[in-house]
Structure 1
Amino acid sequence: MSLDVASVRFGYRRTPVLEGVDLRVAEGGFCALLGPNGSGKSTLTKIIARVLTPAAGSVSFHGRDLLAAPRREHARVVAYVPQSGPAPFEQTVREAVLLGRTPHIGLRPTRRDRDIVAAAIDRLGLGALGDRPMSQLSGGQAQRVLIARALAQEPRVLLLDEPTSALDLRYQIETLQIVRSVTREEGVTALIAIHDLNHAAHFCDQAVLLDGGRVVADGPPAEAFDAAVLSRVYGLDVRVTRGEQGVEVRPSALEAA
């Protein structure tokens, strides 16, 4: 059982962004999408989330075509955490997280729905902010609300588009720990677009490196992180070291400083 992306192509008018992307993430796996700006990381997450429609290719989970499934069914399987932005309208944190229950709610939220929302809010350390309007939150707090909303959705596939970009170091680590625990304890498959190679190496089971809209490396971080490939993709000389604590990537310029 897995999340399978096959031969996905996408472009904006005449500008290709993804050119035949293939990847497979095992059920319960935590996969990092890596690559420089413009490599297609965010675009791929948006295609799986059905924010964008590919020109060709397929996305399936447990053999079911996610791109052809009814929207409500898709939303019961896939939750998407976009990059943080301003709240589109006035709502409290609790109301925003409750939106994650929309695919499951009948005429009105049940006690179980509200309990799930409360648990997601607490899990992200937002308990004291439940009644605060979204417009009064910092960028980092708003991003944690989006993650709580996705967890309240009880997905089988969790997509995160640079979720730590607005967070300070403490909340970056805590967020990645939460996602890892969700994959390991609940069997959720997670795909995260992220820039920090070392965070990906520490928290993720799988690393997929994109360059020019193509997959150029795929596997456990200790295998996928090759100094020559990373140096070419990022245009920067890097060193990769492997030890008992895992793999670490460092720009050579830092070692010479």
Structure 2
Amino acid sequence: MTLSIEHIAFSHSSTSILHDVSFSVPNGSLLALLGPNGAGKSTLAKIIARIHKPSDGSIRLGDANLLQIPRKQHARIVSYVPQSSSVPFELNVQESVMMGRTPYAGLRPRNKDYVIVDAAIRALSLEPLRKKNLSELSGGQAQRVLIARALAQEPEALILDEPTSALDLRYQVETLELVRSVSVERRIASIIVIHDLNMAAAYCDEVVLLDQGEVVRQGRPETVLTAETLSRIYGVDVEVRLRGEYPEIRPCSLISAKRRIPVESA
């Protein structure tokens, strides 16, 4: 089923943050929410996760309005991976991932829940950390636990708010490859808030470019991520070249600087 964001508006303390935001994400696809700081990306992610309540609009998956269904039902449909997480009591990795099964099993896990949690832990390469407390983990390790917990929910829609920001390059690549493959194999409609334009171009089926709370463009990365559009939205001149089928974005200032650096002869 298609995840449809329809005419979403949101204000905070009389300041308008989002204005008439609409786009859709087919199941089995990964969409990137892009835009400069303050564009409203994380706010929109939290609205889909029902952390924030919009002033107008609806979010639908098939015939269901996700903003109106019971929260337990919503938790079975939508998984949300925040930028960071804190819990009021100490949990180890397995217990944290098991929290993803709460909408189904409450506080009494079944055999099926342990099987699903084990699979999520293996998928995120967390087996050696299974019995470690979250307080003992690095920021990148803790972020992978959050993603494993979201996968354990077996959602129909997956919302990730900057899930790679605390990860090194290896785990950034592994995480994006995992999210993409899971989205395709499980037919999940996935949205990722991400700042890295090149990673978004390489791994996402479509991108939505937000600026000042409005959708500027939506479509394939190679059609949306143009030099003219990005230079205007981000306020810095960029060069965009196709590397195979993916666009590669580089700041023009970096390109000019490299050209000015003399090359020493051997």
Normalising by structure 1, report the TM-score: 0.98
Q: Which residue of 1 aligns with 2:51?
A: 51
> Do the aligned partners of residues 239 and 76 (structure 1) sit closer, same or farther apart at CA in structure 2, a change above 3 Å counting?
same
> Matches of 1:255 and 1:230 in 2, distance apart?
16
Correspondence for 2:158: 158
Q: What does residue range 60-75 of structure 1 map to in structure 2 within 5 Å? A: 60-75=60-75
Aligned AA (1:250): R
**Counterpart Cα distance in 2 of 1:35 and 1:89:** 35
SS in structure 1 opposite 2:89?
coil
What letter is aligned with 1:255? I
Deviation at 1:11, TM superposition (A): 1.3
CA drift at 1:171: 0.5
Q: Which segments of 5 or more consecutive residues in structure 2 lack a partner in the other structure?
A: 258-266
**Residues 1:145 and 1:251: Cα distance change in structure 2 (over 3 Å):** same
Matches of 1:195 and 1:11, distance apart in 2: 23
Deviation of 1:15 (Å) = 1.2
Amino acid in structure 2 at the alignment position of 1:223: T
Counterpart of 2:205, as a letter, is: D
Which digits, 9 at most, give the CA deviation of each residue in 1:65-94, with x for residues without a partner? Answer: 000010111011000000014443201110
Matching of residues 179-190 of structure 1 within 5 Å: 179-190=179-190
Match of 1:83 in 2: 83
Aligned partners of 1:240 and 1:25: how far apart in 2?
25
Find the aligned partners of 2:92 and 2:27 in 1 and give their Cα distance.
33
Amino acid at match of 1:238: V
Percent identity, aligned pairs only, is 54
**Map of 1:7-156 to 2, 5 A cutoff?**
7-105=7-105, 108-156=108-156
| Cα separation, 1, equivalents of 2:35 and 2:88 | 30
> How big is the shift at 1:58?
0.5
Number of residue pairs the alignment of both structures matches: 257
2:103 aligned counterpart, secondary structure:
coil
Q: Could you tell me how far apart the structure 2 residues matched to 1:218 and 1:227 are? A: 15
Return the alpha-carbon distance in structure 1 between the equivalents of residues 45 and 250 of structure 2.
27
| Farther off after superposition, 137-146 or 87-96 | 87-96
CA RMSD of aligned residues (A): 1.1
Question: Aligned equivalents of 2:182 and 2:122: distance in 1?
Answer: 14
Q: How many Å apart are 1:135 and its aligned residue?
A: 0.9
Deviations 1:21-56 (A, max 9, x none): 011111111000000111000000000000000010
Equivalent residues of 1:143, 1:166 under 8 A apart: yes
Q: Which residue of 1 aligns with 2:202?
A: 202
Separation in 2, partners of 1:40, 1:126: 32
Kindly indicate whether the alpha-carbon contact (under 8 Å) linking 1:4 and 1:23 is maintained by their aligned counterparts in 2.
Answer: yes
Shift of 1:243: 4.0
Q: Secondary structure at the match of 2:104?
A: coil
**Residue 256 in structure 1 maps to residue 233 in structure 2:** no
Secondary structure (helix, strand or coil) at the match of 2:192 reads strand
Per-residue deviation, 1:63? 2.2
Offset of 1:106 from its aligned partner? 5.2
Q: Report if the CA contact (8 A) 1:240-1:248 is conserved.
A: yes
Question: What is the Cα deviation at residue 175 of structure 1?
Answer: 0.3
